[in-house]
């Protein structure tokens, strides 16, 4: 055996254990009894301790020093292992285990606080999570990651080589056009009517399953369950999705499902040769979000696909108050200043992300205390969206991310939208007849294009390089903004 093969065998076991940890997290969000929360925290801390020990094992460093890659894929795998080894070695084992334990318990406390609209119930836990994650960011920064900045070091977990400064520059270019479009839409003479009525949970779930199938979800390697906050979990041959149901808001269920199918499709399409290797999962969260957002928005909310979905709605729910496919298309794409990020229209969505990004940076720069976060959120929301937050569940308690320590994650949603805009432009150039298939509820031409251009490669390329290769040009926010302006100016007759 060579050093390369010894290292890859060791890494395969580590990747398998990480998948087990992920399955524990999936169970906690979907099926675990509430009374098991404290015990699950100990279980998560224990497995994180094992994983951290493996990821910092001195033998990994020795193998890396002696390993010779047999090909380009092997060289990329070695690069990713070396990067992960350095980052993990910079974080004390005690800290890694404590973050796993605290964030596992914090999920339940957050869910309770959200259900009770009780920020005070969550604040002590959130303060502990922020302190631990900040300590981790500082440890990484001290080791030279993130250009010496704690928040950049955390951001690098989710979008390698991205910086807060770079993201702020992108957001600075996006905001003026988004705000101008938003103001024009809200001042328009014609506004689509919202959907009204009740839509039974069992029928929503049935149609959600049909939508997942329409986008190619492989039911032999996945399943659909309910969760407080929809997510996708797993990689390789076990990738599960969740959704949520509000009987008065079926679009929530349908488009959350399509979104998570985008994530799952990415993981399921990766070349099987990369299974349980560093190349066997999505290369970054920005690229991951590009898949979920293009499935959900450019494809799922397109005129062609919504015309088909209108017929499915009538078949499942009967006369639900929207007579024509075109009126349904406008209802699906209705723009309004809503509270909930996951339910936000395409125009407002990135403004939600920009707000969270600024709040996170302020927290980690010491300019904002956790105890002042609710007031800061509510003040900023009123300024950006023109409405006052009516309850904490519609404000700072709406997202699960902070309870599980995912600071630096939110910006990748907007980067995903930027990447999706580039991919959509290239896809339309390659597939001029795409709308004909979407009008029949057939997304296969688009999903096969994405599988070939993006998904099958897994972690083989750097994020920006992967998108540039797929599109033929370096990624930029311009295609996304052009798409949004063309679409919504037509819908609102601007």
Q: Residues with catalytic annotation? A: 260
Contact residues for 92 (Cβ-Cβ < 8 A; gap 6+): 139
**Matching residue, tokens 């524990």:** 24
188: helix, coil or strand?
A: coil
Q: CA angle, 57 as apex, 7 and 407 as ends, to 5°? A: 100
Q: What is d(CA 27, CA 21) in angstroms, rounded to the nearest whole number?
A: 10
397, 122 Cβ separation under 8 angstroms: yes
Q: Is 58 exposed, middle or buried (0-12, 13-18, 19+ CB in 10 A)?
A: exposed
Q: How far apart are CA 195 and CA 210, in angstroms?
A: 20
Distances in whole angstroms, Cα of residue 375 to Cα of each of 118, 318, 378, 381, 396:
14, 44, 5, 10, 9
Residue 58 half-sphere exposure, CB side, CA atoms within 13 Å?
0
Token pair of 278, please?
A: 């560093």
Q: How far apart are CA 100 and CA 460, in angstroms?
A: 28
Buried b (16+ CB within 10 A) or exposed e, 285-317: bbbbbbbbbbbbbbbbbbbbbbbbbbeebeebb
Residues 140/131, Cβ–Cβ less than 8 Å: no
């Amino acid at each position: 055996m060579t050093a390369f093969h010894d290292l890859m065998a060791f890494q395969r076991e580590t990747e398998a254990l990480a998948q087990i940890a992920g399955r524990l997290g999936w169970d906690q969000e979907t099926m675990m009894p509430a009374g098991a929360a404290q015990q699950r925290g100990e279980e998560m801390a224990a497995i994180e301790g094992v994983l951290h020990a493996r990821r910092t094992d001195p033998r990994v460093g020795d193998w890396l020093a002696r390993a010779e890659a047999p090909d380009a894929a092997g060289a990329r795998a070695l690069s990713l292992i070396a990067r992960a080894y350095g980052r993990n070695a910079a974080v004390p084992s005690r800290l890694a285990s404590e973050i796993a334990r605290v964030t596992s318990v914090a999920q339940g406390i957050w869910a309770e606080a959200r259900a009770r609209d009780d920020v005070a119930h969550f604040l002590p836990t959130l303060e502990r999570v922020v302190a631990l994650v900040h300590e981790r960011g500082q440890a990484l920064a001290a080791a030279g990651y993130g250009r010496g900045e704690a928040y950049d070091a955390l951001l690098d977990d989710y979008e390698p080589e991205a910086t807060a400064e770079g993201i702020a520059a992108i957001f600075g270019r996006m905001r003026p056009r988004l705000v101008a479009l938003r103001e024009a839409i809200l001042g328009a003479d014609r506004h689509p009517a919202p959907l009204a009525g009740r839509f039974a949970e069992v029928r929503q779930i049935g149609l959600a399953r049909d939508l997942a199938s329409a986008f190619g979800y492989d039911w032999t390697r996945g399943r659909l369950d309910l969760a407080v906050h929809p997510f996708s979990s797993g990689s390789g041959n076990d990738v599960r999705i969740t959704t949520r149901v509000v009987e008065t808001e079926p679009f929530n269920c349908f488009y959350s499902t399509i979104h998570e199918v985008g994530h799952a499709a990415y993981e399921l399409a990766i070349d099987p040769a990369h299974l349980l290797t560093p190349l066997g999962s999505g290369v970054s969260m920005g690229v991951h979000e590009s898949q979920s957002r293009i499935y959900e928005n450019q494809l799922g909310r397109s005129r062609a696909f919504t015309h088909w979905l209108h017929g499915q709605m009538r078949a499942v729910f009967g006369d639900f108050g929207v007579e024509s496919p075109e009126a349904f298309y406008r209802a699906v794409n209705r723009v309004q200043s809503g509270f909930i990020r996951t339910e936000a229209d395409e125009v407002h969505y990135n403004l939600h992300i920009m707000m969270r990004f600024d709040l996170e940076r302020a927290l980690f720069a010491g300019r904002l205390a956790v105890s002042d976060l609710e007031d800061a959120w509510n003040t900023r929301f009123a300024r950006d969206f023109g409405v006052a937050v009516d309850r904490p569940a519609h404000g700072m308690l709406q997202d699960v991310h902070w309870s599980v320590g995912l600071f630096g994650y939110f910006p990748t949603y907007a980067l995903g939208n930027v990447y999706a805009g580039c991919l959509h432009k290239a896809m339309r150039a390659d597939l001029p007849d795409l709308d004909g298939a979407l009008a029949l509820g057939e997304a296969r031409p688009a999903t096969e294009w994405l599988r070939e251009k993006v998904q099958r490669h897994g972690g083989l390329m750097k994020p920006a390089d992967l998108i540039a290769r797929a599109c033929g040009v370096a990624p930029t926010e311009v295609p996304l903004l052009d798409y949004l302006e063309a679409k919504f100016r037509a819908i609102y007759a601007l």
